[in-house]
């Protein structure tokens, strides 16, 4: 919840005092352990060649302590690290990504390239990450595969597969493991630790066949089909949100449920409150 508050407050500060300086199309903001702020921006000046800039600010959000640039990636997620530093997850079309980490003084701790799950070669990967207490990082990305419905003159598609993919990266930037779970995911809203041995992940899917757990809050996708596109519209199952709880060590699924109403739904943000309960936000149509 503090992370969402930091986003809102940071956005207000950016708009009120530093917008002319940052000049970006996307901003991610988190609070630093010393009371300052970290901000990551996608710089407009170099469009269409992406460049992400990470800045450390004093608490007044006017004074820049240090600035670092990462070329070739769009900023996707920004998290404070256990050592007081910060980490950035950047993405590129075709399932390409990289994780960068800096210490409190702005020295590079590591950078590592990642092959992320992606829907297509032209779309940016849906991915987020969490900073773990031991200093490691847990990265999640999602993908969905579609196939055309085999009916004459049909322009309808359905989900034929997909997955969630996880990387655990050590504090030194070394890959610890990489696993896939058969949970088709067209979007990732976030990943959060509950501090009690579990990790929550939320996203969106068009699949009717999620491997739900016993006692799931919602046992089916409620929406029907939705039209996508303008010039040549196609029919796809409407998106529904989903929420999963996994074991933080093994990433075994402990609980999985749909979350959504009729027609189109999307989860856009995930947080965990002080009692370890997940809080999600999104929209419905």
**Radius of gyration over every alpha carbon of the chain, rounded to an integer in angstroms:** 19
Give me the phi and psi of 7, to 5 degrees please: -60, -50
Average pLDDT, the chain: 87
Given a cut of 60, is residue 176 above it in pLDDT? yes
Burial label, 118 (beta-carbon count in 10 A; 0-12, 13-18, 19+): buried
pLDDT at 74: 92
Any residues with CB less than 8 A from the CB of 65 and at least 6 apart, and which?
Answer: 36, 55, 56, 57, 58, 106
Q: How confident is the model at residue 230 (pLDDT cuts 50, 70, 90)?
A: low
Q: How confident is the model at residue 151 (pLDDT cuts 50, 70, 90)?
A: low
From 107-121, 227-241, 242-256, the region with the lowest mean pLDDT: 227-241
The pLDDT tens digits for 87-131 are 999 999 889 999 999 999 999 999 999 999 988 888 889 999 999
Given a cut of 80, is residue 13 above it in pLDDT? no
pLDDT at 20: 33
Instruction: Compute the distance between CA of residue 227 and CA of residue 230 in angstroms, rounded to an integer.
Output: 9
Given a cut of 60, is residue 202 above it in pLDDT? yes
pLDDT at 49: 79
Tell me which DSSP letter residue 214 carries: T
Q: What percent of the chain has pLDDT over 70?
A: 86
pTM as predicted: 0.86
Given a cut of 80, is residue 47 above it in pLDDT? no
Please tell me which residue, 225 or 168, carries the higher pLDDT value.
Answer: 168
Given a cut of 90, is residue 265 above it in pLDDT? no
177: β partners: 168
pLDDT at 127: 95
The pLDDT tens digits for 215-225 are 999 999 988 88
Kindly report whether the peptide bond that precedes residue 48 is cis, defined as omega within 30 degrees of 0. yes
- DSSP labels for 103-134? -TTS-EEEEEEEE---S-SSSPPEEEEEE-TT
pLDDT at 224: 85
pLDDT at 1: 42
Given a cut of 60, is residue 68 above it in pLDDT? yes
């Amino acid at each position: 919840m503090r992370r969402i508050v930091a986003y809102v407050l940071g956005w207000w500060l950016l708009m009120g005092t530093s917008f002319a300086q940052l000049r970006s199309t996307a901003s991610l903001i988190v609070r630093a352990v010393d009371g300052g702020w970290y901000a990551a921006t996608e710089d407009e000046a170099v469009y269409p060649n992406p460049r992400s800039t990470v800045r450390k600010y004093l608490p007044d959000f006017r004074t820049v302590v240090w600035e670092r640039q990462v070329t070739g990636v769009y900023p996707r997620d920004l998290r404070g690290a256990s050592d007081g530093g910060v980490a950035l997850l950047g993405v590129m079309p075709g399932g390409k990504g990289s994780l960068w980490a800096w210490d409190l003084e702005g020295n590079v701790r590591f950078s590592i390239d990642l092959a992320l799950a992606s829907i297509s070669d032209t779309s940016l990967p849906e991915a987020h990450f969490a900073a773990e207490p031991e200093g490691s990082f847990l990265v999640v990305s999602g993908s969905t595969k579609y196939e055309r419905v085999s009916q004459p003159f049909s322009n309808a598609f359905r989900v034929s597969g997909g997955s969630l993919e996880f990387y655990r990266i050590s504090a030194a930037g070394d890959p610890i493991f990489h696993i896939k779970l058969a949970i088709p995911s067209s979007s990732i809203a976030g990943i959060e630790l509950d501090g009690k041995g579990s990790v929550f992940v939320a996203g969106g899917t068009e699949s009717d066949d999620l491997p739900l757990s016993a006692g799931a809050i919602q046992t089916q996708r409620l929406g029907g089909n939705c039209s996508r596109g303008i010039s040549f519209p196609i029919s796809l199952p409407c998106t529904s949100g989903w929420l999963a709880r996994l074991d933080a060590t093994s990433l075994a699924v402990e609980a999985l449920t749909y979350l959504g109403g009729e027609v189109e739904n999307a989860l856009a943000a995930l947080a965990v409150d002080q009692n370890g309960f997940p809080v999600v936000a999104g929209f419905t149509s």
